[in-house]
């Protein structure tokens, strides 16, 4: 794969010039309009002094301007380094300090946040994202920008959920992204043909940016949502003929719970993807009543977001399984010594394929720990059966998936552990009817805890979506494994019904 994402999107800008490429709630762009607008903005970035490989941060919620600026940065040879717009000053400053961007483009609601970041990094150019609007009707010069871009040029840094306490930056290149899209297109040619995809994920994540580029590379249309609303989603499915619908199970549960669900025409859907948690038998039956079969997927940011999707043929009989990989992607499990496990024996899931990341941004040590002998060590526990089908058993990295957003238990534990009277803390997932999961902090504090003060402390350090929703105070030390680590399996069993007996906070 020696081409670039720019080549692929450029191809469609000629072939599907008048077809919609990106649609938002109140605006849309054809492929021809996207090419012209992004091209003009790219020339402006070069004129502003952006050098090849320099980072450009977007600090904003999903919007048409976000999408256009991301294309402009790519064409200008910059490295897109978005930051979660829900981050606090502390969180955002930490990430920006590692990326060292030349520019930060912010939306109106993030102006104060950008200014606060800028105080500690005065060399960064702070600009409103709305500045890209000035180039919407400006025709680019037509001269090809000579920026030295090839298949191995890094395209974007996507932040992980930070399972070790701080988010890492996963680097994708043109080659890794195109390799993943080729895998997808060959695995399901029908779904990949000019897909119409509804995108709920924040553009700063793989569930956002990677999906955006998937639709554009395949000549499809991406419908960019700024948030998830089940009624609006059902309306979009019917009116805009969505062909690929993807999300975490709680999204599908909320749509199924709407009175509009029964009357929604879903005949356009070619692929129904779900990941992050298992789909219940009840939910499977509900959507099968609409003639649709859930295809469970498994992946992580380091593998392009999706390493395997359960084919329809096996999804009906084995709905809990995640498939056997992709045409160019291999799955296996290994034991603690790094030996491959035989069928039926649980082990750490490892992945080898074209979509696996280049590495972590400026972190060769962490990269070397997970990229071993050509395999990505996921840190997740799974088992592969005799047919080669994967079942994901547990998230060894302690990620809580709440409303489709990944929350690092380690990050919450780091923040809570420094609060007065906290001797031990473990954060696990509690059931939540609205978001699927919510963080539960189990705290060993024999002298007690001022919970309102603890929550205030957390708000200063953490984004609102990461906030602990349940707190359990233990008068005894937390259970531990033989190796000395806190036993989260024991805590999960002990607090399995925490959502029924504890008051929800916030």
For 120-141, the pLDDT digits (tens) are 888 999 999 999 999 999 999 9
Q: So what's the pLDDT on residue 242? A: 98
Structural domain boundaries in the chain: 399-501
Q: What would the pLDDT profile of 375-402 be if each residue is shown by its tens digit?
A: 999 999 899 999 999 998 877 767 888 9
Task: Concatenate the DSSP letters of all residues of 225-276 into one string.
Answer: -SS--HHHHHHHHHHHT--EEEE-HHHHHHHHTSTTTTT---TT--EEEE-S
* Comparison of pLDDT for 356 and 500, the residue scoring more: 356
The pLDDT, as a whole number, for residue 142 is: 84
Q: Which residues lie closer than 8 Å to 93 by C-beta, 6 or more apart? A: 116, 117, 120
Q: What confidence category does residue 483 fall into, taking pLDDT thresholds of 50, 70 and 90? A: low
Is residue 447 classed exposed, middle or buried when 0-12, 13-18 and 19+ CB atoms within 10 A define those classes? exposed
pLDDT for 482: 54
Length of the chain: 506
Label residue 1 by pLDDT band (50, 70, 90). Answer: low
203 confidence band (pLDDT: 50, 70, 90)? very high
Confidence grade of residue 162 (pLDDT, cut at 50, 70, 90)? low
297, 187 contact by CB (below 8 A): no
Q: How confident is the model at residue 487 (pLDDT cuts 50, 70, 90)?
A: confident
- Report CA-CA distances (Å) from 31 to 8, 15, 196, 249, 370: 11, 9, 14, 32, 38
Average pLDDT of 425-445? 92
- Where does the pLDDT of residue 157 fall: very low under 50, low under 70, confident under 90, or very high at 90 and above? very high
* 3-state secondary structure at position 222: strand
| DSSP E strand stretches across 119-261 | 125-128, 154-159, 169-173, 196-199, 221-224, 244-247
Say which residue the tokens 């490989």 belong to.
53
In this prediction, residues 332-358 reach a mean pLDDT of: 95
Stronger pLDDT, 177 or 446, i.e. the higher one? 177
- Comparing 5-14, 20-29, 209-218, 246-255, the range with the smallest average pLDDT is 246-255
Spatial distance between the Cα atoms of 58 and 94, rounded to a whole number of angstroms: 15
Q: How far is CA 86 from the centre of its chain?
A: 14
Residue 115 or 163, more confident: 115
The encoded tokens of residue 281 equal 């038998």
Q: Sorting pLDDT into bands at 50, 70 and 90, what band is 489?
A: confident
> Which of 166-170, 196-200, 410-414 is the most confident on average?
196-200
Assigned CATH topology for domain 399-501? GMP Synthetase; Chain A, domain 3 (3.30.300)
Confidence category of residue 40, pLDDT binned at 50, 70, 90: very high
Buried/exposed code over 49-68 (b: 16+ C-beta within 10 A; e: otherwise): ebeeebbbbbbbbbbbbbbb
Is residue 19 predicted with pLDDT exceeding 70? yes
Q: Give the confidence band of 484 by pLDDT, cuts at 50, 70, 90.
A: low
The whole-number average pLDDT for the span 454-458 is 94
- How much is the mean pLDDT over the chain? 93
pLDDT of residue 120: 85
């Amino acid at each position: 794969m020696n081409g670039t994402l720019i080549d692929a999107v450029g191809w469609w800008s000629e072939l599907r010039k008048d077809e919609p490429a990106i649609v938002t709630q109140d605006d849309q762009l054809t492929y021809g309009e996207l090419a012209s607008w992004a091209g003009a903005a790219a020339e402006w970035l070069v004129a502003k002094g952006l050098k090849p490989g320099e980072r450009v941060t977007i600090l904003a919620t999903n919007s048409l301007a976000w999408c256009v600026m991301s294309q402009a940065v790519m064409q200008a040879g910059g490295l897109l380094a978005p930051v979660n717009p829900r981050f606090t000053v502390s969180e955002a400053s930490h990430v920006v300090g590692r990326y060292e961007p030349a520019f930060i483009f912010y939306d109106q609601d993030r102006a104060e946040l950008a200014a606060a970041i800028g105080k500690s990094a005065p060399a960064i150019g702070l600009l409103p994202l709305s500045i890209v609007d000035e180039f919407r009707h400006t025709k680019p010069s037509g001269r090809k920008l000579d920026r030295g871009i090839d298949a191995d040029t890094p395209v974007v840094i996507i932040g992980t959920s930070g399972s070790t306490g701080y988010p890492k930056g996963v680097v994708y290149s043109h080659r890794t992204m195109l390799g993943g899209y080729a895998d997808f297109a060959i695995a399901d040619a029908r779904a990949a043909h000019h897909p119409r995809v509804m995108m709920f994920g924040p553009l700063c994540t793989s569930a956002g940016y990677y999906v955006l580029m998937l639709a554009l590379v395949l000549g499809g249309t991406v419908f960019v949502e700024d948030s998830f609303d089940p009624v609006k989603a059902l309306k979009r499915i019917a009116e805009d003929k969505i062909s690929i619908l993807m999300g975490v199970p709680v999204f599908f549960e909320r749509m199924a719970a709407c009175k509009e669900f029964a009357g929604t025409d879903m005949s356009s859907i070619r692929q129904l993807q779900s990941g992050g948690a298992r789909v219940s038998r009840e939910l499977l039956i509900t959507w099968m009543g609409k003639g649709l079969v859930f295809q469970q997927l498994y992946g992580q940011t380091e593998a392009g977001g999706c390493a395997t999707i359960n084919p329809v043929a096996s999804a009906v009989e084995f709905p809990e399984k995640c498939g056997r990989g992709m045409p160019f992607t291999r799955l296996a499990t290994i034991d603690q010594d790094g030996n491959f496990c035989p069928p039926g024996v649980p082990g750490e899931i490892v992945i080898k394929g074209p979509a696996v990341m280049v590495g972590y941004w400026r972190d060769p040590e962490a990269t070397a720990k997970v990229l071993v002998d050509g395999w990505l060590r996921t840190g997740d526990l799974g088992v592969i059966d005799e047919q080669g089908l994967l079942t994901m058993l547990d998230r060894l990295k302690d990620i809580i998936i709440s409303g489709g957003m990944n929350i690092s238990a380690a990050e919450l534990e780091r923040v809570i552990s420094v609060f007065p009277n906290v001797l031990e803390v473990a954060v696990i997932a509690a059931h939540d009817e609205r978001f699927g999961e919510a963080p539960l902090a189990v705290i060993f504090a024999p002298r007690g805890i001022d919970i309102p003060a603890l929550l205030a402390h957390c708000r200063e350090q953490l984004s609102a979506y990461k906030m602990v929703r349940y707190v359990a105070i233990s008068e005894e030390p937390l259970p531990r494994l033989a190796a000395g680590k806190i036993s989260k399996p024991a805590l999960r069993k002990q607090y399995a019904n925490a959502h029924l007996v504890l008051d929800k906070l916030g």
